[in-house]
Amino acid sequence: MVFLEHEFGLYGGEFWEYIIKLLELLKKPLIITAHTIPDDGSKGYGLVLKDVMKFAEKVIVMMPQSSGKLVKEYNYAEEKIEIIPHGVPDIPLEPNDKYKKKKGLEDRLILGNINLLSEIKGLEYTLEALRDIKRKFPKVLYLIIGQTHPVVLQTVGEKYRNFLKDKIKSLDLRENVKFINKYISLNELIDWLKIIDIYITPYLDPQQSASGALAYAVGAGKICISTPYLYTKEVLANGRGVLVPFRDSQAIADAVIEIFKDPQKNLQWKIKHISSEDL
């Protein structure tokens, strides 16, 4: 069989429809994992996804809400949908002090996220929050880990990264932000996760239905702060993380400061994070 990871932005065309030409030539059964499901199945990206799914024996999604959307908005047969939650590596829960020391960061409070950079990530809101966090905790460090998304790099180059760098300068945060501008392996991702204190995803797309690195952060027992996109509304529900409004840097700052200023609460967050029956 053929297994297709379907995500917009990978396959070319106005709505990334060029993949359909390949699917028309397939003679073997096709299984699709649908990473993003647009709200409107009647135009643009939604129509392309509909066309792609016509070729599939099964469509895999990662959340029940995604399955419901395919049935309700795309009229897709429920019996052809399988829900397989996003997996995570088996990361032992342990103090991160020794891992910070290996990186020479033992005296820093570490915020971070790991992603392919693009404007939809909303990282500027964490930078604006960092200005307020720095006043309370001068040694805070924000790690922005990952290269620019290849499609973004092809179309507009490093425009977004340069925008972030300009904002860092204007907010006087050059000692408080570090870019790791490379595509990292799974082992490297886990190594960086081990030193992060708080994982933040300030993403801007309410319909984002998966975030691999956030799933890994939850699996590593990290305190997670995020905007309420579709995936986090399920994964961080019931006290497993902190949800903040979209485009609200003050809410991010308030959440980080509250966690950092109370070590006991910080510990309680981690215990709650890994013991919840809903995980």
**pLDDT score for 265:** 61
Helix (H) / strand (E) containing 22: helix 19-23
Mean pLDDT of 140-160: 93
pLDDT, tens digit, for every residue of 29-46?
A: 999 999 889 888 889 999
Q: Using alpha carbons, list the distances in angstroms from residue 75 to 43, 215, 237.
A: 14, 29, 28
Under the banding of pLDDT at 50, 70 and 90, the label for residue 56 is: very high
**pLDDT score for 29:** 97
- Would you state the structure tokens that stand for residue 191, as one six-digit string? 């190594």
Mean pLDDT of 237-246: 92
User: What residue type is 187 in one-letter code?
Assistant: N
**pLDDT score for 95:** 86
Residue 52: pLDDT above 60? yes
Mean pLDDT of 125-132: 98
Q: How much of the chain exceeds pLDDT 90, in percent?
A: 73
**Neighbour order of strands in the sheet with 223-226:** 177-180, 140-145, 109-114, 198-201, 223-226, 242-243
Q: How far apart, in whole angstroms, are the C-alpha atoms of residue 256 and residue 224?
A: 10
pLDDT, tens digit, for every residue of 4-32?
A: 999 887 888 889 899 999 999 999 999 99
Residue/partner pairs of 184-192 with CB below 8 Å, 24 or more apart: 184/114, 184/145, 184/146, 186/89, 189/114, 189/145, 189/213, 189/216, 190/89, 190/91, 190/216, 190/220, 191/99, 192/112, 192/114, 192/143, 192/145
**pLDDT score for 5:** 94
**pLDDT score for 263:** 63
Under the banding of pLDDT at 50, 70 and 90, the label for residue 155 is: confident
Mean pLDDT of 218-225: 93
pLDDT, tens digit, for every residue of 59-102?
A: 999 999 899 999 999 999 999 999 999 889 888 888 899 999 99
Task: Judge contact between 66 and 34, C-beta under 8 A.
Answer: yes
Residue 278: pLDDT above 60? no
Which residue do the tokens 């895999």 mark? Answer: 60
pTM for this prediction? 0.86
Q: How far apart, in whole angstroms, are the C-alpha atoms of residue 270 and residue 265?
A: 9
Is the CATH number 3.40.50.2000 carried by domain 97-275? yes
The SS3 of residue 133 is: helix
Q: Where in the chain is the domain with CATH 3.40.50.2000?
A: 97-275
